[in-house]
Amino acid sequence: MRDVIVVGAGIAGLSAAIYCSRQNLDTLVIGKNLGGQALLASEIQNYPGVPSTSGFDLVRKIEAQARSFGAEITFDEVVALRKEGEGCVLKTSSDKEHSSLAVILAFGKTPRDLRVPGEDRLKGKGISYCTICDGPLFKGRTTVLVGIGEHGVESAEMLCKIARKLYWVFPSKTPGGDPSLFKSVVSRSNVEVFPNSKVLEVRGDKSFESLLIEFNGEEREIKADGLFVEMGYVTKTEFLRGVVELNERGEIKIDRACRTSAKGIFAAGDVTDMPYKQAIIAASMGVIAALSAYNYIARLKGKGEMRADWRHLKVEEEEEKGPLFFAPV
């Protein structure tokens, strides 16, 4: 049994791993990928002490710091979590089970799916959920975008400059986001829009070939080389229902010590009900969750207060009262 397992290898999870492993906790990070949303930020200018960096460089530095203190990182997806005795058991999509005394949930937000037939089968085969990352691969080719909001409009702007042709599908009259940017994109001759449309199916044999939509009351098949989905981000916490308390948006409710409603389970970063979602906030929440996990484990092991490089919080007194959740903002 590990001391602590961190779910998610984004900024929150890796920051938590630095603090856990530096306190000699046996720490495993399980992440679907390394970096999370920060990889989509080509430039971050507001991380204190770092005037300008790419999200990629920032994440690689945090990862190196975590590994240097002994944190282990493995790539997998956590699909289930249950409390067992004093500890927790996590199950992954590769059918492995891991157990630990404490868990830090730091798995951020994930791009919203279309939830139509064909999507799951063709994921990663011509369907992208990150235009900034994959747009350049479609230079001079035909693309179809299902996109709304700021991300949707910015993606359309990028694709119409890269691709030979862009078909842009959205479910309402306008896609939302910046109206002037929207106007400038639709004024281009290589852009065709399908407002008030419903996506019915993603088609393709071995890779994406076409998108079936309902437009003006009729079915329409749009053939393209690549499909981009930019429908915003969601917290995928369904597997935690009944384990920890969630809010109406599915975010994990935490108190000011990053404790969830379940003992020994902590949470940090964008996956929580913290209303501000930023890199430095994710990092600092990862640290708070790590300190709380450390204190929890120290008490479980009956070691009381171990040597620590921070002022000890009297969180155990609060534990009696149960977590004090933030009031909604």
Q: Map residue 76 onto helix, strand or coil.
A: coil
Select 123 or 203, whichever has its Cβ closest to ligand FAD: 123
Q: How many CB atoms lie within 10 A of CB 158?
A: 18
| 254/173 Cα distance (integer angstroms) | 38
Q: How many CB atoms lie within 10 A of CB 119?
A: 17
Tell which positions 110-149 bind ligand FAD, by CB under 6 A. 110
Select 22 or 109, whichever has its Cβ closest to ligand FAD: 109
Rounded to 10 deg, the angle between the 179-186 and 149-162 helix axes is 30
Residue nearest to ligand FAD (CB): 108
Select 198 or 241, whichever has its Cβ closest to ligand FAD: 241
Interface residue with ligand FAD among 27, 31, 73, 284 (CB under 6 A) is 31
Asked if 253 is part of the footprint of ligand FAD (rule: CB under 6 A), the reply reads no
Q: Give 96's contacts (C-beta < 8 A, 6+ positions apart).
A: 76
Element containing residue 73 per DSSP (H, E): strand 72-75
| 131/168 Cα distance (integer angstroms) | 13
Q: What's the start-to-end Cα distance of the chain, in Å?
A: 38
Least Cβ distance, residue 20 to ligand FAD (angstroms) = 15
Asked if 12 is part of the footprint of ligand FAD (rule: CB under 6 A), the reply reads yes
Interface residue with ligand FAD among 270, 292, 297, 323 (CB under 6 A) is 270
Binding mask 78-107 for ligand FAD (x = CB under 6 A): x---------------------------xx
Buried b vs exposed e over 179-205: b needs ≥16 C-beta within 10 Å?
eeebeebbeeeebebbeebebbebbbe
Select 112 or 277, whichever has its Cβ closest to ligand FAD: 277
Asked if 8 is part of the footprint of ligand FAD (rule: CB under 6 A), the reply reads yes
Interface residue with ligand FAD among 144, 269, 287, 289 (CB under 6 A) is 269
| Beta-strand runs (E) in 85-190 | 87-92, 97-105, 110-111, 127-128, 142-147, 165-169
Angle ∠(229,232,235) on CA atoms, nearest 5: 115
Select 302 or 329, whichever has its Cβ closest to ligand FAD: 329
Asked if 67 is part of the footprint of ligand FAD (rule: CB under 6 A), the reply reads no
Size of the site for ligand FAD (CB under 6 A): 32
Q: Left if phi > 0, otherwise alpha if psi is -120 to 50, otherwise beta: which for 151?
A: alpha
What is the phi/psi pair of residue 22, to 5°?
Answer: -70, -20
Binding segment for ligand FAD among 39-47, 166-174, 209-217, 318-326 (CB under 6 A)? 39-47
Least Cβ distance, residue 258 to ligand FAD (angstroms) = 12
Interface residue with ligand FAD among 5, 9, 71, 114 (CB under 6 A) is 9
Asked if 289 is part of the footprint of ligand FAD (rule: CB under 6 A), the reply reads no
Q: How many CB atoms lie within 10 A of CB 218?
A: 7
Binding segment for ligand FAD among 40-48, 207-215, 242-250, 320-328 (CB under 6 A)? 40-48
Binding segment for ligand FAD among 30-38, 81-89, 171-179, 313-321 (CB under 6 A)? 30-38
Positions that interact with ligand FAD (CB under 6 A): 7-13, 30-33, 36-38, 40-41, 44, 46, 77-78, 106-110, 269-270, 277-280, 282
